Amino acid sequence: MPAESLREKTVSPWQIHPVRIVAAKAEVPGVITYRLKFVDQNVEDAYSVSPGQFNMLYMPGYGESAISVSGYDEQNRELLQTVRVAGNVTRALSRLNVGDELGLRGPFGQGWPMKAAQGGHLVLIAGGLGFAPIRSAIEAAICHRGRYEKISILAGARSPDQLLYREQYEQWKAAQVELRLTVDRATPQWNGNVGVVPLLVDRLKISNPATATVMVCGPEVMMWYTVKSAIEQNISVERIWLSMERNMNCAIGHCGHCQFGPAFICKDGPVLRYDRIASYLKIKGL
Ligand SMILES: Cc1cc2nc3c(=O)[nH]c(=O)nc-3n(C[C@H](O)[C@H](O)[C@H](O)COP(=O)(O)OP(=O)(O)OC[C@H]3O[C@@H](n4cnc5c(N)ncnc54)[C@H](O)[C@@H]3O)c2cc1C
């Protein structure tokens, strides 16, 4: 098949492709990071994903769920997807074992502006499961470490045992990435920060706010206060990006389930510039 028609066929947004679970790592109770590999090598060849995009994972008989890509292992060509058991689809997925197959279509949406952030301080901020799409930005930034003046990761969770990706922290720090963590409730073993994520932003040293870029994903209330703190640090609203979540269905802007003001989270997002959505964030229940 000519390369172009192969690409058209394999990247059709409606086409569901089988992927095999290569590994499944329990991160924290109820949250698993899967390593997924396309069964069809042609699809694997045609697939290309950017940090911050998402896939629709399909469990036959149950349905589909939008799940952010939390990483891509270039060497083994394996996708990382971190999933919290929330309802029918994710519960069915959690019952699968290594070697089992499920369906996947994607990738979808607009990811993080990694290129636009080059040359300045990159501030990556995660709350709870919001760490999943932020992790893909961390990977991409570390891969091109020299292109960013400074990289800071600020992450929070309810308690120390709820922090995701703990086994990666030393590796990130070794790549000269600043890592600051906070928890809502400390345990006797915890000697880090206690408090909400925006407090980490307040304490962050940003030498040149004009070239700093902030990328945030977490619960909406956390993102709201985090943005407030970033603005107080003199970061321009045009350099603040949020990854948004809404119930979605088609993932390509047809069904309207994920409409957020004039934007569809699935195709215009999930990553959106703060100033473009600020007025809609204020509307309760939108
Ligand atoms: C762009 C995007 C990226 C996402 N990335 C991830 C990810 O990396 N990991 C992950 O675990 N989940 C992620 N989600 C959330 C995930 O898609 C939902 O939890 C999904 O509905 C679970 O499917 P389910 O059938 O198991 O649960 P459902 O039966 O669909 O839902 C269970 C409960 O969650 C509510 N719900 C469903 N979708 C959402 C949503 N988007 N926001 C808030 N509440 C919702 C439902 O109303 C219901 O109460 C993402 C969602 C979006 C839109």
- Tell me the per-residue pLDDT of 6-46, one tens digit each, with 9 for 90 and over: 555 556 788 999 999 999 999 999 999 999 999 999 999 99
Using one digit for the tens of pLDDT, what is the confidence trace for 46-67?
999 999 999 999 999 999 999 9
Ligand 1 lined by 82 (C-beta under 6 Å): yes
In the reported structure, the alpha carbon of residue 86 is separated from the centroid of ligand 1 by a whole-number distance in angstroms of: 7
pLDDT category at 230 given cuts 50, 70, 90 is very high
Q: Which of 247, 258, 264, 266 to mutate to test the pocket of ligand 1 (most atoms within 8 A of CB)?
A: 247
Pair 157, 198 in one domain = yes
pLDDT category at 2 given cuts 50, 70, 90 is very low
- Does residue 75 lie within any of the structural domains? yes
**Which of the listed residues 108, 129, 145 is the one where a domain comes to its end?**
108
Residue 33 tokens read as 């990071």
- Does residue 195 lie within any of the structural domains? yes
User: 236: domain CATH number?
Assistant: 3.40.50.80
In the reported structure, the alpha carbon of residue 3 is separated from the centroid of ligand 1 by a whole-number distance in angstroms of: 35
**Which of the listed residues 108, 143, 166 is the one where a domain comes to its end?**
108
For ligand 1, atom 19: residue with the closest CA:
86
DSSP state at residue 179 = E
Closest CA to 166 of 121, 131, 214: 131
Ligand 1 lined by 75 (C-beta under 6 Å): no
Question: At residue 1, does pLDDT exceed 50?
Answer: no
Ligand 1 lined by 245 (C-beta under 6 Å): yes
Question: At residue 138, does pLDDT exceed 50?
Answer: yes
**Which of the listed residues 108, 130, 150 is the one where a domain comes to its end?**
108
Q: What is the mean pLDDT of residues 72-91?
A: 96
**pLDDT at res. 261:** 86
Ligand 1 nearest atom to the CA of residue 70, by list position: 8
**pLDDT at res. 274:** 95
For ligand 1, atom 53: residue with the closest CA:
245
Pair 89, 149 in one domain = no
- Does residue 205 lie within any of the structural domains? yes
Per the structure, the complete domain to which residue 46 belongs is given by 3-108
Residue 148 tokens read as 């960013």
Using one digit for the tens of pLDDT, what is the confidence trace for 181-217?
999 999 999 999 999 999 999 999 998 999 999 999 9
Burial of 4: CB neighbours in 10 Å, binned 0-12, 13-18, 19+: exposed
CA distance 70 to 50: 10
Ligand 1 lined by 68 (C-beta under 6 Å): yes
Q: Which of 34, 50, 96, 245 to mutate to test the pocket of ligand 1 (most atoms within 8 A of CB)?
A: 245
DSSP per residue over 3-52, as a string?
HHHHHHHHT-TT--EEEEEEEEEEEETTEEEEEEEESSHHHHHH----TT
In the reported structure, the alpha carbon of residue 268 is separated from the centroid of ligand 1 by a whole-number distance in angstroms of: 18
Q: What is the mean pLDDT of residues 133-159?
A: 97
Among the residue ranges 64-78, 127-141, 209-223, 264-278, the one predicted with the least confidence is 264-278
Residue 74 tokens read as 């270039």
**pLDDT at res. 252:** 86
Pair 132, 100 in one domain = no
Using one digit for the tens of pLDDT, what is the confidence trace for 245-268?
888 888 888 888 889 888 898 899
User: 38: domain CATH number?
Assistant: 2.40.30.10
Q: What are phi and psi of 117, to 5 degrees?
A: -85, -10
- Does residue 286 lie within any of the structural domains? no
Structural domains of the chain, count? 2
For ligand 1, atom 17: residue with the closest CA:
66
Pair 250, 127 in one domain = yes
Pair 100, 126 in one domain = no
Q: What is the mean pLDDT of residues 60-86?
A: 96
Among the residue ranges 1-10, 165-174, 196-205, the one predicted with the least confidence is 1-10
CB 270 within 8 A of CB 246: no
CA distance 275 to 278: 5
- Does residue 16 lie within any of the structural domains? yes
What global pTM score does this model have?
Answer: 0.93
Pair 273, 165 in one domain = yes
For the chain, first and last CA: distance in Å?
A: 46
Pair 58, 161 in one domain = no
- Does residue 115 lie within any of the structural domains? no
For ligand 1, atom 10: residue with the closest CA:
83
Ligand 1 nearest atom to the CA of residue 109, by list position: 1
Using one digit for the tens of pLDDT, what is the confidence trace for 232-249?
999 999 999 999 988 888
